[in-house]
Chain A
Amino acid sequence: MNRINRLFEQKKKDVLNIYFTAGFPKLNDLSQIILELEKSGVDLIELGMPYSDPLADGETIQYSSSIALKNGMNLDLLFSQVNDVRQKTEIPIMLMGYYNQMIQYGEDKFLDKCVDAGIDGLIIPDIPLTYFEKNLQEKVEQKNLAMTFLVTPESGEERTKLADRLSSAFLYVVAKSSVTGKTEELNENQIDYFQELDSYQLKSPRLIGFGIHDRASFVNAAKYANGAIIGSAFIRVLRDKGIDGINAFVSQVRGV
């Protein structure tokens, strides 16, 4: 069984997913960051493939992506670094990036490399649902890679159910229509939205992301789903404190 599916079978609440960009802050930090995150109590890693034009991302992740690219990170190096760390940990690892990276690398080669490196799933936010279903779903499932799609408060019931059906890892619930990196507190409308999702009878576990940045926002979001995702706030920790800041940050979010 895929490591992601096993995680959600074993753990139904307070799943903590941390995003960071491969190659940031230093080119070869990936392995140490993943091991430190696991040791600190993180359940799932969302590993960003740095991209020159990250449309859905705010300033923080644009910054980490541009530094990572300047450092010399690329997909071949990323796969080889994940392959190395995979010898030391069983934590589920998903890749997050943009479709163009996958196209140019070669879709089949990309998927094979993911499997070889021990990557468990993919989040590619600019692949349209119906395009995925028609062109990619079969290939991805054959490789036993789990897929995650995003839904927002504007997606509506029908589309949310389609995203749920096509997601084989978890459903990524975007708390508010925005790019990544905002830090506003959850409001009533958003909570109404999370509760409405309960009524849809969705099959996938759900993680809430966008704007989750500390213990309070994590605990609050995790109440309405199986857990939550922290991205930009963690990038800021790496930027300001480096690997040494990881344990303190995760412990604070976990409340330990």
Chain B
Amino acid sequence: MIHYNNSYNPDSEGFYGQFGGAFIPEMLFSNINNLKNQYLEIIKDESFQKEFDNLLKDYVGRPTPLYFAKRLSEEIGAKIYFKREDLCHTGAHKVNNTIGQILLAQRLGKTRIIAETGAGQHGVATATVCALMGIQCIVYMGEIDIARQAPNVQRMKMLGAEVRPAKSGSKTLKDATNEAIRDWINNPIDTHYIIGSVVGPHPYPDMVAKFQSVISEEMKWQLKEKEGRENPDYIVACVGGGSNAAGAFYHYLDEPEVKLVLVEAAGEGIYSGKSAATSILGSRGVIHGSMTMLMQDPYGQIIEPHSISAGLDYPGIGPLHAHLIDSKRAQVFAATDDQAIEAAFHITQMEGIIPALETAHALAVLDQMEVNKDSVVIVNMSGRGDKDLNTYIAVQDSDKTENIPSSGI
């Protein structure tokens, strides 16, 4: 039985402090309300938990290892662990949530699934669970992301999903999310919308965080086995919407000695005008039905973000994270495109693990932590880099390769 008690649960209206809620047009109200009234009861039900746990174990491959990165630890001068979500079926943590939501959708009697995707990892994870359950699946994806994440588009199609291009606005994740929400407005009865991150109207941020909380639940006993203590000094995770960070932080929220570090995508530089560093550049407002921090102009028009990583290319941040930052429970670092690329090559050559570009942002700030040799740092290795090979190959083939530091050994 999973316990979800912590002092960072949202209130009955879905607010974490001043962030969260459900700012949705009336056309969505009955769907969201229905979900809000039922999700806690469903996911606490014994038969649900049994099915969820079994699928996480036998289908996803959980528990994922907590790996001691020996060479990197020596270099940094601290004990660095990777929580290996990259070893999950489909290549990232995203599937933890889609397994939970497909089981929920079945119990709600839904027969059609829609999803949005940026990097394509959530789209693949959704198409996968729909294939598993034999349910129709439609994935909205920005036209630009379709071009830069081609292998994942092909995977979704092979899994039987229909990939619909989002052609409005910036043609990336935020627009794919708009299109998915519009689809849901048009198809309120038979459809469940599987949101891929801790964003959107209540109850999504809480529901997705709970499904992802298995990450930190495992970390606790795994670290206890390895270090004799449950609590690390730092947990580091990249943040776009923030689902991997929410999962990695969840069971540590009420452990104040565990420092929580969010790493945002700074694109070409935080103030370059091509960035996705939401908490630094953003201000309070509503995006995708949630009151949170978002990047916007003085008139409230949402600014198109930029990151080399499609999964972090989002102008908002989940309301839980906005609250964690606002209340100083979490601290924020930023990594640029170049720093992420450099970290990806460095970690690959130090540890033999090719990380996703998203994850590479988290890996890029490790040398900025205040640590000593006994400090324990867990990095959430949220996804693997297969989907980003085109980007990595382009870097490798360019002159820039000369500048990428090798391990030196």
Interface residues of A, Cβ cutoff 8 Å to B = 51-53, 55-56, 58-59, 62, 66, 69, 74-76, 98-105, 125-128, 130-131, 149-152, 154-156, 159, 163, 174, 177-179
- Listed A/B pairs (23) with beta-carbon separation below 8 Å: A51-B300, A52-B302, A53-B287, A55-B181, A56-B25, A58-B182, A59-B168, A98-B300, A99-B23, A100-B286, A100-B287, A101-B300, A104-B296, A104-B300, A125-B26, A126-B24, A128-B21, A128-B22, A130-B13, A131-B21, A149-B26, A150-B26, A174-B27
Cα distance, A1 to B175, chains bound together (Å): 42
Q: Are B30 and A155 in contact (CB under 8 A)?
A: yes
Contact B168 A62 (CB under 8 A): yes
Which A residues are CB-close (under 8 A) to B298?
Answer: 104-105
User: Is B169 an interface position by the 8 A CB rule?
Assistant: yes
Q: How far is the CA of A155 from the CA of B24 in the complex (A)?
A: 13
Interface pair A126/B25, CB less than 8 Å apart: yes
* Nearest-CB residue, chain A, relative to B291: A103
A61 to chain B, nearest CB (A): 11
Distance from A209 Cβ to chain B, minimum over Cβ atoms (Å): 12
Q: Which of A52, A75, A105, A159 has the most CB of B within 10 A?
A: A52
Please, how many angstroms separate the alpha-carbon atoms of A62 and B188 in the complex? 21
Asked if A104 and B23 make an inter-chain contact with CB atoms under 8 angstroms apart, the answer reads: no
Q: How far is A13 from B186 in the complex, measured between Cα atoms in Å?
A: 29
Partner of A100, one of B21, B30, B169, B296: B296
Number of chain B interface residues as a range: 20 to 34
Of B174, B284, B298, most buried by chain A (CB within 10 Å of CB) is B298
Q: What per-residue 1/0 map shows which CB atoms of B269-309 lie under 8 Å from chain A?
A: 00000000000000111111100001011111110000000
A156 to B34: give the CA distance in the assembly, Å.
Answer: 13
A128 to B289 Cα, complex, angstroms: 10
A56 to B287, CA, bound (A): 13
User: Which chain A residue has the least Cβ–Cβ distance from B299?
Assistant: A74
Quick one: given A101-B299, A163-B26, A179-B185, are A53 and B174 in contact (CB under 8 Å)? Answer: yes
Min CB distance B172 to A, Å, is: 12
Docked complex Cα distance between A127 and B168 (Å)? 23
> With a CB–CB cut-off of 8 A, which chain A residues contact B4?
none
Chain A at the B interface: SS class: mixed
- Does B59 count as interface, using CB distance less than 8 angstroms? no
A32 to chain B, nearest CB (A): 23
Is B300 a contact partner of A105 (Cβ separation < 8 A)?
Answer: yes
Chain A contacts of B27 at CB under 8 A? Answer: 56, 150, 152, 154, 174, 177-179
Chain B residues positioned under 8 Å from A62 (CB to CB): 168
A151 and B186 contact, Cβ closer than 8 Å, known pairs A100-B287, A104-B283: no
Q: A53-B287, A128-B24 are in contact. Are A179 and B299 (CB under 8 A)?
A: no
CA distance A126 to B285 in the complex (A): 12
Q: Which of B186, B286, B296, B299 has the most CB of A within 10 A?
A: B299
Q: Which residue of A lies closest to B174 (CB)?
A: A53
Query: Does B391 count as interface, using CB distance less than 8 angstroms?
Result: no
Q: List A contacts of B285 (CB < 8 A).
A: 100, 103-104
Shortest CB-to-CB span from B301 to chain A, Å, is 4
B29 near A104 with CB under 8 A, answer: no
B residues in contact with A56, CB < 8 Å: 25, 27, 185
**Contact of A69 with B185 at beta-carbon distance under 8 Å, contacts A56-B25, A104-B283, A177-B27 already known:** no
Contact at A53–B178, with CB atoms within 8 Å? yes
Please measure, in the bound complex, the distance between the C-alpha atom of A62 and the C-alpha atom of B169, giving whole angstroms: 9
B301 touches A51 (CB 8 A): yes
Which 8 residue pairs spanning A and B have beta carbons closest together?
Answer: A104-B300, A154-B30, A101-B300, A56-B25, A125-B25, A150-B26, A52-B301, A100-B286
Q: Are A103 and B168 in contact (CB under 8 A)?
A: no
Per-residue contact bits, chain B 328-341, to A (CB 8 Å; 1 contact, 0 not): 00000000000000
Report yes or no: B26 in contact with A100, Cβ–Cβ below 8 A: no
CB distance from A176 to the nearest CB of B (A): 9
Alpha-carbon separation in the docked complex, A125 to B260 (Å): 36
> Does A126 lie within 8 Å of B286, measured CB to CB?
yes
Q: How far is the CA of A34 from the CA of B31 in the complex (A)?
A: 37
- CB < 8 Å neighbour of A179 from B21, B24, B186, B300: B186
Interface string of B48-84 (1 = CB under 8 A from A): 0000000000000000000000000000000000000
A150 touches B25 (CB 8 A): yes
With the chains together, A100 CA to B302 CA distance in Å?
9
B23 & A126 in contact (Cβ 8 Å cutoff): yes
Question: Distance (Å) between the CB of A99 and the closest chain B CB?
Answer: 5
B178: min CB distance to chain A, Å: 6
CB neighbors of A among B169-213 (8 A)? 169, 174, 178, 181-182, 185-186, 188
Report chain A residues within 8 Å CB of B284.
103
State how many angstroms separate the Cβ of A102 from the closest Cβ of chain B.
7
Q: Once bound together, how far apart are the Cα atoms of A159 and B34, in whole Å?
A: 14
Residue numbers in B under 8 Å from A163 (CB-CB): 26
Please give the distance in Å from A158's CB to the nearest CB on chain B.
12
5 extra interchain contacts, Cβ-Cβ under 8 A, other than A101-B301, A105-B299? A51-B300, A52-B301, A100-B302, A104-B285, A130-B13
- CB A231 to nearest CB in B, in angstroms, measures 14
Residue among A66, A104, A131, A149 facing the most chain B CB atoms (10 A cut-off): A104
Given A125-B25, A126-B286, CB of A55 within 8 Å of CB of B30? no
A102 proximity list for chain B (CB < 8 A): 300
Set of chain A residues within 8 Å of B22, measured between Cβ atoms: 128
Are B168 and A151 in contact, CB atoms less than 8 angstroms apart?
no
Q: Which residues of B contact A100 (CB under 8 A)?
A: 285-287, 294, 296, 300, 302
C-alpha spacing A152/B185, complex, angstroms? 11
Chain A nearest CB, measured from B108 CB (Å): 15
